[in-house]
């Protein structure tokens, strides 16, 4: 249960960082449970008979039907590129910076970048950097969407 804005920013940042382009699911703020949940997109399109066929689908469908949800925007490709470029530019070794930067302009830049990070042994520093950057992105998103807590309840301000 998310109890304050700082926890919300962390949860939204984690969701943004873990959006998977190849997986048709979205991350949602669940106002009912005050949590962030992942829901597969096709659940929204099932009819009542289909929703009750498999237990986890039934559970997910129940959340969709009875909870108030708001989708967390996935990071754009531009945002993902900017995070990768910022990481590359943060490297003190110009040779490493060059390798990382070059990987970003290749076809399949995301896979290319991950491969170079792995080859250079930078997985741990990349993971930490990426988490911190997505927390900054989440903080801006939470502010833009005007999320707040009133009497311990998550709300969106409209004033």
Is the dihedral angle over the CA atoms 155, 78, 81, 20 positive or is it negative?
Answer: positive
Cα 99 to Cα 79: distance, rounded to the nearest angstrom:
20
Please compute the mean of the pLDDT values over residues 140-156 and round it to a whole number.
92
pLDDT band at 132 (very low <50, low <70, confident <90, very high): very high
Please compute the mean of the pLDDT values over residues 153-159 and round it to a whole number.
87
Neighbours of 40 (CB within 10 A): 15
Q: What letter would DSSP give residue 158?
A: -
CB 83 within 8 A of CB 138: no
Element (H, E) at 70: strand 69-71
Using the predicted structure, report yes or no on whether residue 15 has a pLDDT greater than 60. Answer: yes
**Which ranges constitute the DSSP H helices of 41-157?**
48-51, 55-66, 77-89, 94-104, 109-119, 123-144
**Helix axes 123-144 and 5-17, enclosed angle (nearest 10):** 120
Cα 82 to Cα 76: distance, rounded to the nearest angstrom:
10
Tens of pLDDT, residue by residue over 20-55, are: 766 778 899 999 999 999 888 777 776 666 655 655
Residue 8 or 63, more confident = 8
* 151 torsion bin: left (phi>0), alpha (psi -120 to 50), beta (else): left
Supply the pLDDT for residue 64: 83
Residue 64 or 79, more confident = 79
Tens of pLDDT, residue by residue over 69-127, are: 999 999 999 999 999 999 999 999 999 999 999 999 988 999 999 999 999 999 999 99
């Amino acid at each position: 249960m998310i109890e304050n804005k700082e926890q919300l920013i962390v949860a939204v940042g984690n969701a943004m960082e873990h959006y998977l382009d190849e997986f048709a699911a979205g991350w949602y703020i669940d106002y009912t449970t005050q949590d962030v949940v992942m829901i597969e997109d096709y659940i929204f399109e099932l009819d009542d008979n289909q929703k009750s066929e498999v237990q986890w689908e039934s559970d997910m469908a129940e959340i969709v039907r009875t909870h108030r949800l708001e989708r967390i925007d996935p990071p754009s490709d531009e945002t993902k590129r900017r995070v990768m470029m910022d990481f590359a530019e943060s490297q003190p070794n110009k040779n490493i910076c060059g390798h990382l930067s070059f990987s970003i302009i290749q076809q399949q830049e995301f896979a290319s970048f991950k491969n170079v990070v792995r080859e250079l042994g930078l997985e741990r520093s990349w993971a930490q950097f990426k988490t911190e950057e997505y927390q900054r992105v989440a903080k801006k998103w939470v502010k833009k969407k005007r999320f707040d807590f009133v009497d311990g309840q998550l709300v969106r301000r409209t004033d």
